[in-house]
Amino acid sequence: MKAGVPNGVFNVITRFGKAAGAAINHHMDIDKAATKSDLKHVSLEIRGKSPLVIFYDADINLAVDLALLGILFNKGLGGGRGGGSAPWEGGGDG
């Protein structure tokens, strides 16, 4: 829970092979699953024109406070508000 994500939101299962993969793919309560072979570097537009990227070494409490301020400031009508957020996994230039 280091990143502030509630338990159960993001799970990593390793080394269980086809049996676990089949169970995960057919489970009705699991909305999305990815395997190592499916992962690749991508660029994403995060909801709207003002994405908020939270770097790996950021103060998570301050980042959340500022994200909420950006969304709620001026009743959410400001053109420069944070439109979405994503944690940054890499370091340096990415």
For the stretch 43-78, pLDDT in tens is 666 555 566 777 878 888 888 888 777 777 666 565
From the list 62, 63, 66, the residue with the least C-alpha distance to 87 is 63
Check residue 43 and give its pLDDT: 66
Position 29 pLDDT exceeds 80: yes
pTM, two decimal places: 0.34
Confidence class for position 94, pLDDT limits 50, 70, 90:
very low
